[in-house]
């Protein structure tokens, strides 16, 4: 039912974006602070209380954006298998160059989980509870899927890393 999935995804995107849009209104930066952000992204500023408020607003805006994208990515992660064969979802930000990294990541997580069993299986038993608490939409995923989705989203969306 690919059509239905796409439709569901579209609805989810729309809903989430609407919600986030409301949350972001206080994250608008003043013209002055935007001007300060010139010069190649690096600048020095007096660390005053006013500046702190602006910094907090900037941070808030970034966190909101990240949350939005993380949720979208995780949502799509539930639709692909992260075991031996890595299928990159069309919704993931990782392009073809990340596939090799994903495979390496999968092997790394596998190695870790194999060892975990020998050490009592605490990670398998307890980490999903923590991850689910932070990201309820990951409920039902196994620990490997959770860890891979989490890292994959961070690596692909937030920075570049080769394993």
Partner 1 sequence: MNDLFCDNACLVMSLLFIQTSSEERTLAHRQCNDGRCNFDFVEYFCGKGELTRHLLKKGFWGAAVDLINDAEAQDCLEPCGLRLFLNLLGAAKDHALIWLGTQCSSFVVLCLAQSQRYMENFFRGDMRREFVRIGNALQEFSSLVMFLSFVLNCETILEQPLNSCMPQAGSFPHVLSFVSARKHVTYAGAFGASSVKPLQLWHAGVGNFTDLERPKPDWLTESLATHDDQGRFTGRRDALEISGQYTPAFAMAVADIYSAQFHP
122-134 vs 99-118: helix axis angle to the nearest 10?
Answer: 130
Per CB under 8 A, contacts with partner 1 among 78-97 are none
DSSP 13-41: HHHHHHHHHHHGGGGPPPHHHHHHTTTTT
DSSP state of 95: -
Q: Does 154 bind partner 1 (CB under 8 A)?
A: yes
* CB proximity list for 116: less than 8 A, separation 6 or greater: 122, 123, 124
Which stretch, 4-12, 76-84, 149-157, contacts partner 1 (CB under 8 A)? 149-157
* Number of other residues whose CB lies within 10 A of the CB of residue 77: 22
Asked if 18 is part of the footprint of partner 1 (rule: CB under 8 A), the reply reads no
The residue within the footprint of partner 1, chosen from 23, 78, 89, 103 (CB under 8 A), is: 23
Q: How far apart are CA 8 and CA 5, in angstroms?
A: 5
Which of 51, 87, 107, 110 forms a contact with partner 1 (CB under 8 A)? 51
Kindly identify the residues of this chain, within the stretch 89-148, that bind partner 1 according to CB under 8 A.
Answer: 105, 108, 111-112, 115-116, 118-120, 122-123, 126-127, 130-131, 133-136, 147
Q: How far is the CB of 45 from partner 1 (least distance, A)?
A: 6
The single-letter DSSP state of residue 79 is T
Complex with partner 1: residue 1 or 134, whichever CB lies closer:
134
How far is it, in rounded angstroms, from Cα 63 to Cα 53?
15
Binding site for partner 1 (CB under 8 A): 19, 23, 37, 41-49, 51-52, 55-56, 59-63, 65-67, 70, 105, 108, 111-112, 115-116, 118-120, 122-123, 126-127, 130-131, 133-136, 147, 150-151, 153-155, 157-159, 161, 163
């Amino acid at each position: 039912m690919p059509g239905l999935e796409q439709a569901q995804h579209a609805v989810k995107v729309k809903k989430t974006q609407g919600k986030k849009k409301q949350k972001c209104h206080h994250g608008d930066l003043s013209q002055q602070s935007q001007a300060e952000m010139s010069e190649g992204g690096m600048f020095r500023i007096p660390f005053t209380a006013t500046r702190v408020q602006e910094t907090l607003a900037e941070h808030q805006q970034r966190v909101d954006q990240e949350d939005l994208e993380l949720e979208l990515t995780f949502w799509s992660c539930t639709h692909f298998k992260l075991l031996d064969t890595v299928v990159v979802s069309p919704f993931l930000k990782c392009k073809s160059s990340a596939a090799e990294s994903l495979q390496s990541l999968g092997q790394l997580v596998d190695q870790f989980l194999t060892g975990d069993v020998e050490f009592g299986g605490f990670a398998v038993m307890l980490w999903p509870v923590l991850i689910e608490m932070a990201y309820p939409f990951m409920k039902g995923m196994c620990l490997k899927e959770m860890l891979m989705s989490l890292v994959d989203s961070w690596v692909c969306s937030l920075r570049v890393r080769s394993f």
